[in-house]
Structure 1
């Protein structure tokens, strides 16, 4: 996944690890490419997605929810798309993968199937934080990962849209080699990462939260004058 997504997730784990084991000096590398951790001699890796490298064990930590959302200011000015067809006439953002340069499609749940649809972006960027800021500013509707969107949804700064089309088919994984051959320091870090990042409520929005956030904005909307 984009490396800009990882720092706020990993730093609490690294900080706690350093507090518990002050004599250990971790080396951290963030890379937007798909590295081969076996060849690169990496002890522990994290990745958003589903693919694994040969010889590596993967443990899924939590789902990555891809949420269509917009700021209240955008919806007040441009209206609310009620269907995917209506979404085509709205200002949308798209993410350009930093390593490949490809503009990625939106991933949608439609009729029980996962579908990939390209939007005609008003704004595209290779930086997740910039895309989040554009959505928060009311410039565009975006499909944002829960890593970036969850706190804004909970605080009412973003409104989830078309919730029935949200997907969580990919996840955040921790990768490592055979536990039998691991040094104790590596095993300790893996155990801590699982302890702190397995289904963390701060990142995963429940169905109740998503529907409540959408309904709360609808109740706050100013009613049109008669």
Structure 2
């Protein structure tokens, strides 16, 4: 008798609750299932199932035997799978989820570099502002900005997001440059509508070391961070933007960071995944790759020195534009 196979058949019969379903799952006949169980009973000298013409039920001896052997069988199967996976390591598909802006600005460059290093791994990226249930959606790894997920997950912080008050040089040339929060109410402003709650997010200010919130009237709002950022670039108003969306525009001179004393870093970017005894090697490889490559996340953040330099440069560009308008007008 193949004792290991017989024990697996016995456990499968318990899990599926039927000799017929067990036979179908294992690709054998119901008679073969019954024979394997009888052989175990003969060797153990105990009855594992009570049998009737309609159904079979587990005996107390059968339950105790199952409790004892199941951990060992799972350990054997796990070891088998690990050895097999070593042959095809870093193969298959990884499914990721992220918000649209985070996916495009932060993840896509990482995915491109990862696939060059691991060409056998395919990547599927699902972009959605709403929180995604990893298990229910068959997702391997999630990425989110804001606060860490509170579910029973493994969560890794990647970097802090900067909230920056920004305007285009053209807007500042036409409307002037606010230097205090009280002056903002005299300007055209943009706003962010939270994609999950539908509420417009309040502006956040630092006041003597404390965080204050203010609901400021907005002439333009959007539930998409990139759309709001583009609106500010186009001169629709002043906005409080996240650095993921705004950093590249600031570096290119299309946006000017204002009121640097109001910079806020209370939000983060997080990578999260389900707690599992053994992660597939391709998933582990991607996690390690992200942690090694993220560094200071320069595409999504600006250094303090950069902000000061780009602030001065942007104000100079706005002043030059304003002088030209006055001269031509």
TM-score strictly above 0.5: yes
More moved, 53-62 vs 78-87: 53-62
Quick check: 1:147 aligned with 2:283?
no
Match of 1:182 in 2: 279
Aligned mates of 2:294, 2:171 — CA distance in 1: 33
Q: Of 180, 188, 206, which aligns to 1:83?
A: 180
Match of 2:59 in 1: none
Q: Of 130, 141, 148, which aligns to 1:33?
A: 130
Quick check: 1:117 aligned with 2:117?
no
Match of 1:46 in 2: 143
Residues 38 and 56 in structure 1, CA contact (< 8 A), matched pair in contact too? no
Aligned mates of 1:63, 1:136 — CA distance in 2: 23
Aligned mates of 1:55, 1:198 — CA distance in 2: 26
Q: Of 18, 23, 35, which aligns to 2:115?
A: 18
Match of 2:262 in 1: 165
1:6 alignment partner, SS class: helix
Aligned mates of 1:66, 1:111 — CA distance in 2: 18
Structure 1 length-normalised TM: 0.90
1:209 alignment partner, SS class: helix
Runs of 4+ with deviation above 4 angstroms = none
2:300 alignment partner, SS class: coil
Match of 1:73 in 2: 170
Residues 105 and 299 in structure 2, CA contact (< 8 A), matched pair in contact too? no
Quick check: 1:217 aligned with 2:299?
no
Aligned mates of 2:124, 2:185 — CA distance in 1: 45
C-alpha deviation, 1:183, in angstroms: 1.2
1:119 alignment partner, SS class: coil
1:25 alignment partner, SS class: strand
Structure 2 length-normalised TM: 0.63
Aligned mates of 1:100, 1:2 — CA distance in 2: 15
Q: CA RMSD in A?
A: 2.1
* Residue 202 to residue 5, structure 1, CA distance change in 2 (3 Å): closer
Aligned mates of 2:103, 2:194 — CA distance in 1: 15
Residues 179 and 187 in structure 1, CA contact (< 8 A), matched pair in contact too? no
C-alpha deviation, 1:70, in angstroms: 0.3
Number of aligned residue pairs: 225
Larger CA Rg, structure 1 vs 2: 2
Q: Of 96, 100, 107, which aligns to 2:193?
A: 96
C-alpha deviation, 1:174, in angstroms: 0.8
* Residue 6 to residue 109, structure 1, CA distance change in 2 (3 Å): farther
Aligned mates of 1:115, 1:12 — CA distance in 2: 35
Q: Of 294, 309, 312, which aligns to 1:197?
A: 294
Quick check: 1:62 aligned with 2:159?
yes
Aligned mates of 1:119, 1:6 — CA distance in 2: 29
> Larger helix proportion, structure 1 or 2?
2
